[in-house]
Structure 1
Amino acid sequence: MSKKLGVIFDSTDRIIRNKDVQDTSTKISPRSSKYKSQHKKPEQQASLLDFVKPKPKSQRQIKANKLKKTHLTITRSSYIVYKRKGKTRLDSKKKITRLKRSVRVYRTSKKAEREVAEQELKGVPGVALDINTKVIPVEQQVQNLSLSDTPTPKDDLQAKAVHSIHSRRFRSYCDNCTRPRLKELTIQLLKDLDRFQKRAFAKNEIKARAHPRLILGVREALARLRINKVKLLFLATDCEICPGESGLDETIEGLKFQCQQQQVPYCFPLQRRELSYALQKRAQISCVAILDFDGANATYADLLNEIQDARAEYKRRTAS
């Protein structure tokens, strides 16, 4: 009986040892189905770290991650044109504003006058054509001048209106001098407000569109002036010449009149190309209206003082 027990004990002990060896050589896979796919290869083994839950993030970390994700670089301008809702016509005609139409008409008339003058002077050098198409030498025209050809009082008034300091780059509608300090403050204010506006668009575009910092263009500036939203107005010093009713000259005078009525400060600090360069735009800008200058209050206050000094200097230079 003792021999039988010894044989059974030896066989059971052998079986147990073989099982232990097999268990250590084979892969120990977790029972949870969530982690089965992580240990498909035999050399990979599960550990207790697979079942440890990560520490939940705090609200401060979540907000920081959101700001990192939404801090995007805006390649295009902040004024992104989206597809309009409603009907889409195949042959849609772009609407031309009244101001743009008057500018185009003036351009075509000037071009036609220039072409006519070139055709008249193309024949013989040093010779001009009379109204009745008679060839008259230039020397004879100078001799034929009489007292009747002297300028009229109206011409004198027009000549006095345009001072010697005015030029093509600094037109007669400007009423302040362009000083270096004025240019520097204007560029600094425009860059700061443009940066604030782009940052607001990156965070929440809907709110940024509802509360813009600055707007561009004569039409947008007129619309905001009607509802008393403009805090400061910048106009270019070299806007295109366009006289006549609803022309650019009359529009600029209307902008100045509305600013004076509402006591809104305005100035003429930069040229069109300089305004577009300050705002990183390709097209030339003739008008910029500031609607909200929070964050740049010191620059705004210094700019107002500099505008008064520049206007006083202009009056002093044009008085003589």
Structure 2
Amino acid sequence: MKRNRIGRTDVEVTDISFGTSGIGNLGREVTDAEAMEVLHHAWQGGIRYFDSAPHYGRGLAEQRLGTFLKPLAREQFVVSTKVGRVLTPGKDLVEADGFVHPLPNAVHYDYSGDGIEAALEGSLERLQTRHIDIVFVHDIGCYTHDGDNEGHRTALLDSGLDRLQKLKDKGTIRAYGLGVNETGICLDLLRETEMDVILLAGRLTLLDRSAEDQLVSECRERSVSLILGGIFNSGILATGPVDGAWFDYAPASSDILQKVRALKAQTDAAGVPLASAALHFARSHPAAASILLGTARRSSLQRNLEALATPLPPECQTLVQASQATLRRAGEP
């Protein structure tokens, strides 16, 4: 599997990576055995970069990932997690934030230096490691926080980013950046500070290419890597425009359904499943250092790996290419 360097750091990630929200019981309860099975299958498939977050099952995904990675030599894999949410002991819950039977932890937002370090200490314990390769500032921005975002942004700029740099200087982390669902906050903070990488969910996909407008070129100019999450846009690029299909964490609008029908007509004409085209678009994008595959099902992971291993026919290549302007900005012919 191809490896790509993150920013100007010495961190290298496989161009396909594994996202762990599913093994945090997102949407359904997953057994420990199921979680270990899909993680093992990812490893057998050549994936050596795993992404997690305290948000995923209030620490459950990190805990399961840590159990899986513990017997492995630390230099063999790259792991990332996120800061911005701090977990503290709480009560048992049936469901929280879409995660079923999460760990009994309470959660609060804190993007200050102290909050970031507290979040990281918890993650280090659950992941059973002495250092984290990549740390993402999770869900900063108006998409998540709306009117409360200015206070969180101020905390991050006042002390949070400085603390991340100090942790990087100490070797506790090796790279840091943002993990978000919107391009606006990325452009804002790129102009305020230096960072190594952005994990961008849902904004550089076969359906939603809004990151191509400005963010791709800004990242290239500043040597900031992009990791792509949400490549199925909450499911609609996997399921197609069916009744009840979801886009951007909500039922798809009629406008989105119409756009996906048009995309599916093109992929059907080329004899390629819509989901395969979505996977190839993300992986082949010149700005992408890695694409996240997030599932708790071994069968789903295998299906996606097989799709990525199957070359697209020539008639589908144009559909999955980035815009020509983006290709030029990324230095491609």
TM-score, length-scaled by structure 2: 0.21
Higher helix share: 1
